[in-house]
Structures are given as structure tokens and as C-alpha cells.
Amino acid sequence: MEVLKVSDANMVVYIHPSKSNEVSEAILKELSSLLFKFSDVFDGVVLAYKVIDRSKDAKILPGVHPYFGVRLRARLLLFSPKPGMLLEGKVNKVEKEKILVTVLGFSSAEISEEDIREEFRYKRKHGKEVYASSYHKRHVIIVGSMIRFSVKRVACEDNLIFSGSLLPPSTGGIKWLDKHMKDGPESERFALRRARRDSSLPVWGACSHHLSTGSCLFCTPNGSGNAKHGFGSDWTKWRKLQ
């Protein structure tokens, strides 16, 4: 995922004097309090951390309770989605008006009906609500599906809440996309076919992804992976996420 980034930060952790004999544990506790919360300072949600170095000296602050500040350097894994970026998540609800998605197990995204491309049609199938492609019968989105979508808007509070879009042709069910869009020529035929059906503009063999979105899936690396989800102070586990 391109929305994940690693950042080295110089920080000062303020510790209560009662923890003067447990400085290392107190530092880890303070850093853990940052996890899964949006930080304006780091412009993202802290997913994991690793202390690289810390000062052996501390500065005592004057006051009733003389806290002392410890300088340290930490490596942070940040989740920082921006409009236009691609995200992956698990569908937890499908309705005609919207699709609800959970990203990384803690953040929620909503894709409204107006942001779902016309290729996908809402229907009930075997008692389940689904969005199914009218072009490819095996391309369906149901509860439990892993999908790739584009970020439309981001609301930053304690937790990230954002809206997504399935309008770009590079979005949809991950299993179907990985199987049918990894080969450029075949994917291009699908895209050109959609362009002819959905647009009155002539298509002269130019990349329809450029025509519809201004960018091309085949010109930019796709950084998604399929490793199992895991986190903790070992930030390297987050390099590839499902």
C-alpha cells in the first residue's frame, strides 16, 4: 500500500518521577499511547514504532511534580491516506446505497452508490446483497470480499474516517483484479471495451486509463501484497498487508 510510510522522529517523552527507576518501560508506555490514533504532528495514524536511540540524560521540569523529559529517536510506521491513493480493505456491509469497508482492522471507509461505477449492479443473489459486474460475471463484491478502492475524502479525528470510490477501472475485487489485470494487453482490451460502451468519445487505441482517470495502472508500480496482518513494535511486519 502506498499509504504506508516510515518516518524517523526526534521526540521528547515526559516521565513521572515515580517511574524514574523504570524509564524504558515508561517510554514504551507513552509511545504505545500513540498507536491507532491520528497525529497532526506526524500527519497520519501511528501503526507501529521502534526506539532507535535515546539520551542517557534527562531534563527536569520545574513544578509541583517535577516530570523529567527524555530525548529519543523513534522509527514510526504511519498510515497516511490522501485523496486519489489506492487502499485495500474488507467489505463488512453491502447495501444498495453504499458499501462499508474496514481498512487494517481499525479504520472505516464508506463508498456511496454515486461513487460505484455503472459496471457494478446491485442485486440479491442467494439471499445475499452483492454488487456484480455486468461485464464479468465472476467479478462480484459481497460481505467478506477484499476490495481495492480509491480514497475520495479523509476526515481526521482520533480515528480516520474516509469515503472511497470504485469509479477508477483499477478498483474492485482484489482477487479478480489480480487475476485479470496483471497482464497489460488483456487488461487493456477490457478497458477499451468499457470505454467504447460507457463513452461517446472515440477511442483511437490510446490507454483508456489515461482517458478516464489521467493516470495509468500499468505505468505505476502496484505495491499491494498478500502477507498476513500483524503489528507491534516490529514495524517490518507491516511492509506488506492484506
Classify residue 57 by its DSSP letter. E
Do 76 and 9 form a contact (C-beta atoms < 8 A)?
yes
Provide the 3-class DSSP secondary structure of residue 9: strand
Are both 4-79 and 86-180 of the same fold?
A: no
DSSP 129-166: EEEEESS-TT-EE-TT-EEEEEEEEEEESSSEEEEEEB
User: For the chain, which residues make up each domain, given as ranges?
Assistant: 4-79, 86-180
Let me know how long the chain is: 242
Q: CATH code for 4-79? A: 3.30.1490.120
Dist CA 238 CA 242 (whole Å): 10
Burial class of residue 104, CB neighbours in 10 A (0-12, 13-18, 19+) = buried
**CATH superfamily label, 86-180:** Nucleic acid-binding proteins (2.40.50.140)
Burial 74-93 (b: 16+ CB within 10 A, else e): bbbbbbbbeeeebbbbbbee
pLDDT along the chain (242 residues), means of 10: 84 85 89 89 90 77 72 92 92 96 91 95 92 92 96 80 92 91 50 47 36 38 37 40 34
Residue 193 CA: distances (Å) to CA of 20, 23, 184, 202: 68, 63, 14, 12
CA dihedral of 70, 71, 75, 81, whole degrees rounded to 10: 90
Provide the pLDDT for residue 10: 92
What distance lies between CA 130 and its chain's CA centroid? 23
Dist CA 226 CA 84 (whole Å): 22
Dist CA 182 CA 176 (whole Å): 10
Do 212 and 198 form a contact (C-beta atoms < 8 A)?
no
Provide the pLDDT for residue 197: 52
Measured at the CA of 144, the angle between CA 78 and CA 101, to 5 degrees, comes to 45
Provide the pLDDT for residue 63: 62
